[in-house]
Amino acid sequence: MTRKGNPATLDVDRARRETPGCANVVHLNNAGAALPPAVVTDAVVDHLRLEARMGGYEAAAAAVASVNNVYDAIARLIGSRPHEIAVVENATRAWDMAFYAMRFGPGDRILTARAEYASNVIAFLQTAARTGARIEVVDDDEHGQFSVDDLRRRLDDDVKLVAVTHVPTQSGLVNPAAEIGRLTRAAGVPFLLDACQSIGQLPIDVAEIGCDVLSATGRKYLRGPRGTGFLYVSDRLIDQLDPPFLDLHAATWTDHDRYELRPDARRFESWETNYATKIGLGVAVDYALRWGIESIEDRVTTLATYLRRRLAELPGVVVQDRGKRLCGIVSFTVDGIPAAEIQAHLARAQINTSTSTVTSARYDLAARGLSAIVRASVHYYNTEDEIDLLCAALSRLPNGRPR
């Protein structure tokens, strides 16, 4: 990614003041769901109250500018055009709508990554069983990231899709999306990028990456409401994608036995939707853009580097992140103590973390002989003091190491 000059230093005190949850918890589960800023929660609640006061349809009409703002905000965030965006209820639905809109036949190949998310792989497996398409997992390189050289070797006319997770749920890895995009564009193969964990913590420009489709969620690094997600579909590909289900918003019933699909990405939406959270997502994106994604990445990377260094000093703790470029997700194990026990121990100290088990990323974790990892994911509003609290709590683990 090209950086637009030096990122401004982020005012962490202000970020914390604007985030009510910071007063209650040490929140290191930002890859699960980040704490929302008050402006997001207020926008959602205000709209629910407006609906209660004047009626849901009437509230949507009254708030039409805030509703439509979400498309403009996301377009600014990822460098697309607003009509290339569909707003849906989560990243999985976004990804599925695009994936199941593609046609595969016997012998077609789908190339994916070791880091791939379970839900995506489950969809590949179902599609392979139905159509005879084949799934191939591209190797990792010596750094533990997606091997662009292996992709180059595998790309040929039978490859109908390259689908890659940018940042996996289970580690700090950042896959080389733009290098993948250069190859897929040259080969004329659609590139579907799962940007669920990278959106909001890393700069993303769809033109620079060269992906044709991108899926993302609202509640993770974007700090939006739960139950929100979006899909970007490039104008290059939209005409080739026939959504797996349609309604009177995605299409128009034009004649007795005819309908016409919407020409834009909103063919992947449905008519009924949660307007309050849709407005909230737009507010969250605008809020992130005001901080600046480069500044956010800078702060998140600094904190994650500090956390990895502190963890590595603790006896028995093994940082499990691999890759040339790392982000705000820090994965680790502790010798002799199951990940779930560590998470529970930390929760008792009001420190929120998460775990990933082999069933959420089998191509990756199983290959590394890991059944589960603990995930501590930092955001820009976290502090070095909070990281020190995490490490202090780890050094007090009741059994096993460290002591």
Minimal distance, residue 141 CB to ligand PLP, in Å: 20
Distance of closest approach, residue 113 Cβ to ligand PLP, in angstroms = 10
Q: Distance between CA atoms of 364 and 345, rounded to whole angstroms?
A: 26
> Please, which of residues 79-118 interact with ligand PLP by CB under 6 A?
90-92, 117
Of the listed pieces 61-69, 156-164, 191-199, 278-286, which binds ligand PLP according to CB under 6 A?
A: 191-199
> How many residues of this chain bind ligand PLP (CB under 6 A)?
12
Nearest to 136 by CA among 223, 119, 156: 156
Site string for ligand PLP, 290-329 (x = CB under 6 A): ----------------------------------------
Instruction: Say whether 215 sits in a helix, a strand or coil.
Output: strand
Residues 44-83: x/- map of binding to ligand PLP (CB under 6 A)?
Answer: ----------------------------------------
Nearer to ligand PLP, 117 or 287 (CB): 117
CA distance 2 to 24: 37
Nearest to 121 by CA among 301, 365, 402: 365
- Which residues, in sequence order, are bridge partners of residue 266? none
- Which amino acid type is present at position 194? D
Among 200, 225, 229, 282, binds ligand PLP (CB under 6 A): 229
Question: x/- string (CB under 6 A) for ligand PLP, residues 144-173?
Answer: ---------------------x--xx----
Residues 234-253 that bind ligand PLP (CB under 6 A): none
- Kindly write out the interface string for residues 194-213 of this chain, putting x where it contacts ligand PLP by CB under 6 A and - elsewhere: x-xx----------------
The answer to the question of residue 225 lying near ligand PLP (CB under 6 A) is: no
Query: Binding residue for ligand PLP (CB under 6 A) from 112, 217, 270, 331?
Result: 217
Output 197 or 353, the one with its CB closest to ligand PLP.
197
Sequence-ordered alpha helix ranges (H) in 2-117: 12-17, 38-54, 56-62, 64-78, 91-99
DSSP string, 169-214: TTSSB---HHHHHHHHHHHT--EEEE-TTTBTTB---HHHHT-SEE
Whether 192 and 210 have beta carbons less than 8 Å apart is answered as no
What is the residue-wise DSSP string for 276-307? HHHHHHHHHHHHHHHH-HHHHHHHHHHHHHHH
Q: What are phi and psi of 357, to 5 degrees?
A: -105, 170
**Measured from the CB atom, is 229 or 280 closer to ligand PLP?**
229
User: 169 or 277, CB closer to ligand PLP?
Assistant: 169
Residues that bind ligand PLP (CB under 6 A): 90-92, 117, 165, 168-169, 194, 196-197, 217, 229
